[in-house]
Protein backbone atom coordinates (compact mmCIF):
# COMPACT_ATOMS: atom_id res chain seq x y z
CA UNK A 1 0.00 0.00 0.00
CA UNK A 2 1.04 3.61 -0.55
CA UNK A 3 0.44 6.70 1.59
CA UNK A 4 -0.72 9.78 -0.30
CA UNK A 5 0.43 13.24 0.65
CA UNK A 6 -1.94 15.25 2.81
CA UNK A 7 -1.44 18.01 0.23
CA UNK A 8 -3.27 16.06 -2.47
CA UNK A 9 -6.63 17.83 -2.12
CA UNK A 10 -8.25 15.11 -4.23
CA UNK A 11 -5.88 15.67 -7.14
CA UNK A 12 -5.07 12.73 -9.38
CA UNK A 13 -1.42 13.85 -9.28
CA UNK A 14 -1.00 12.95 -5.62
CA UNK A 15 2.38 12.16 -4.14
CA UNK A 16 2.72 8.65 -2.77
CA UNK A 17 5.29 7.32 -0.33
CA UNK A 18 6.64 3.76 -0.02
CA UNK A 19 7.66 2.88 3.52
CA UNK A 20 10.70 0.79 4.45
CA UNK A 21 11.15 -1.37 7.55
CA UNK A 22 14.40 -2.70 8.91
CA UNK A 23 15.23 -6.13 7.54
CA UNK A 24 16.09 -7.06 11.13
CA UNK A 25 12.41 -6.78 12.06
CA UNK A 26 11.91 -10.17 10.42
CA UNK A 27 8.57 -9.21 8.93
CA UNK A 28 7.10 -8.41 12.34
CA UNK A 29 4.14 -6.05 12.26
CA UNK A 30 5.71 -3.75 14.83
CA UNK A 31 8.33 -1.55 13.21
CA UNK A 32 9.59 1.95 12.67
CA UNK A 33 8.85 2.74 9.02
CA UNK A 34 10.36 5.52 6.94
CA UNK A 35 9.81 6.63 3.36
CA UNK A 36 11.07 9.38 1.12
CA UNK A 37 8.52 11.83 -0.22
CA UNK A 38 10.64 13.20 -3.09
CA UNK A 39 8.19 15.85 -4.28
CA UNK A 40 8.15 17.41 -0.84
CA UNK A 41 11.84 16.78 -0.04
CA UNK A 42 10.86 15.07 3.19
CA UNK A 43 11.23 11.76 4.97
CA UNK A 44 8.01 10.50 6.50
CA UNK A 45 8.08 8.25 9.56
CA UNK A 46 5.22 6.17 10.94
CA UNK A 47 4.54 3.26 13.27
CA UNK A 48 3.61 0.05 11.47
CA UNK A 49 1.28 -0.86 14.35
CA UNK A 50 -0.81 2.17 13.33
CA UNK A 51 -0.38 2.60 9.55
CA UNK A 52 -3.27 5.06 9.38
CA UNK A 53 -2.05 6.93 12.43
CA UNK A 54 0.18 9.98 12.67
CA UNK A 55 3.04 10.53 10.27
CA UNK A 56 6.07 12.55 11.29
CA UNK A 57 7.59 14.59 8.47
CA UNK A 58 11.25 15.63 8.49
CA UNK A 59 13.37 17.50 5.99
CA UNK A 60 16.02 15.45 4.23
CA UNK A 61 18.73 17.38 6.10
CA UNK A 62 17.08 16.71 9.47
CA UNK A 63 16.77 12.99 8.64
CA UNK A 64 20.46 12.78 7.70
CA UNK A 65 21.46 14.47 10.96
CA UNK A 66 19.28 12.08 12.97
CA UNK A 67 20.71 9.02 11.20
CA UNK A 68 24.21 10.30 11.97
CA UNK A 69 23.28 10.57 15.67
CA UNK A 70 21.90 7.00 15.63
CA UNK A 71 24.98 5.63 13.84
CA UNK A 72 27.36 7.28 16.31
CA UNK A 73 25.32 6.36 19.39
CA UNK A 74 24.55 10.00 20.16
CA UNK A 75 20.73 9.94 20.16
CA UNK A 76 20.65 10.98 23.84
CA UNK A 77 22.56 14.18 23.10
CA UNK A 78 21.13 14.88 19.62
CA UNK A 79 19.12 18.12 19.59
CA UNK A 80 17.80 18.35 16.03
CA UNK A 81 14.31 18.27 14.57
CA UNK A 82 13.80 14.57 15.37
CA UNK A 83 13.13 14.59 19.10
CA UNK A 84 13.59 11.30 20.97
CA UNK A 85 12.65 10.60 24.57
CA UNK A 86 14.03 7.29 25.80
CA UNK A 87 11.92 5.40 28.31
CA UNK A 88 13.26 3.40 31.24
CA UNK A 89 12.67 0.22 29.24
CA UNK A 90 14.69 1.53 26.27
CA UNK A 91 11.67 2.33 24.12
CA UNK A 92 11.44 5.63 22.28
CA UNK A 93 8.81 8.33 21.96
CA UNK A 94 9.58 10.29 18.79
CA UNK A 95 8.18 13.61 17.61
CA UNK A 96 9.13 16.60 15.46
CA UNK A 97 10.39 19.50 17.57
CA UNK A 98 7.87 21.80 15.85
CA UNK A 99 4.95 19.40 16.50
CA UNK A 100 5.52 17.95 19.99
CA UNK A 101 1.87 16.92 20.38
CA UNK A 102 2.19 14.40 17.51
CA UNK A 103 4.37 11.54 18.70
CA UNK A 104 5.09 7.91 17.89
CA UNK A 105 5.94 5.34 20.59
CA UNK A 106 8.26 2.44 19.80
CA UNK A 107 9.07 -0.58 21.96
CA UNK A 108 12.65 -1.56 22.82
CA UNK A 109 12.46 -4.34 20.21
CA UNK A 110 11.34 -1.87 17.53
CA UNK A 111 14.11 0.55 18.50
CA UNK A 112 16.72 -2.23 18.35
CA UNK A 113 15.58 -3.30 14.87
CA UNK A 114 15.54 0.31 13.66
CA UNK A 115 19.02 1.05 15.04
CA UNK A 116 20.42 -2.10 13.43
CA UNK A 117 18.76 -1.11 10.15
CA UNK A 118 20.28 2.37 10.40
CA UNK A 119 23.71 0.87 11.10
CA UNK A 120 23.29 -1.31 7.99
CA UNK A 121 22.36 1.73 5.88
CA UNK A 122 18.77 0.60 5.29
CA UNK A 123 17.30 4.01 6.10
CA UNK A 124 19.87 6.10 4.21
CA UNK A 125 18.38 8.47 1.66
CA UNK A 126 19.73 6.46 -1.27
CA UNK A 127 17.89 3.39 0.01
CA UNK A 128 14.68 5.30 0.62
CA UNK A 129 14.95 6.87 -2.84
CA UNK A 130 15.32 3.43 -4.40
CA UNK A 131 11.91 2.57 -2.94
CA UNK A 132 10.25 5.66 -4.38
CA UNK A 133 7.34 5.05 -6.71
CA UNK A 134 8.35 4.41 -10.30
CA UNK A 135 6.29 5.90 -13.15
CA UNK A 136 3.39 3.61 -13.94
CA UNK A 137 3.68 1.73 -10.64
CA UNK A 138 0.26 1.00 -9.19
CA UNK A 139 -0.87 0.95 -5.56
CA UNK A 140 -1.12 -2.63 -4.39
CA UNK A 141 1.94 -3.79 -6.33
CA UNK A 142 4.96 -5.10 -4.49
CA UNK A 143 8.62 -4.20 -4.52
CA UNK A 144 10.08 -7.66 -4.19
CA UNK A 145 12.83 -8.02 -1.63
CA UNK A 146 12.89 -4.34 -0.73
CA UNK A 147 11.39 -4.54 2.77
CA UNK A 148 8.80 -1.99 1.64
CA UNK A 149 5.17 -1.80 2.54
CA UNK A 150 2.98 0.51 0.49
CA UNK A 151 0.14 2.40 2.16
CA UNK A 152 -2.49 4.71 0.75
CA UNK A 153 -4.62 7.27 2.46
What tens digit of pLDDT does each residue of 40-52 get?
789 999 999 898 8
In a domain, 12, yes or no: no
Asked whether residue 56 is assigned to any structural domain, the reply reads yes
Q: How far is CA 20 from CA 1, 83, 99, in A?
A: 12, 20, 23
Does 60 fall in a domain? yes
The dihedrals phi and psi of 143, each to the nearest 5 degrees, come to: -110, 90
Dihedral, 110, 113, 116, 118 alpha carbons, nearest 10: -60
The verdict on residue 92 lying in a domain is yes
Q: Does pTM surpass 0.85? A: no
Q: Classify 94 in phi/psi space as left (phi over 0), alpha (psi -120 to 50) or beta.
A: beta
Q: How many domains does the chain have?
A: 1
Which residues, at least 6 apart from 136, have a Cβ–Cβ distance to it below 8 Å? Answer: none
Residue 3 within a domain: no
CA-CA distance, 111 to 50, in Å (whole number)?
16
pLDDT in tens, 56-110: 999 999 999 999 999 999 999 999 999 999 999 999 999 999 999 999 999 999 9
Cα–Cα distance measured from residue 125 to residue 64, given in angstroms and rounded to the nearest whole number = 8
Domain that holds residue 115: 18-134
Amino acid sequence: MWRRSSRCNGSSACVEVAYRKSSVSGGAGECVEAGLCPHEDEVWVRDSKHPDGPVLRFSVADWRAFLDAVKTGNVATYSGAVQVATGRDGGWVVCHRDEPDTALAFTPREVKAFVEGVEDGEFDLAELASDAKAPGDRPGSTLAGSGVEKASV
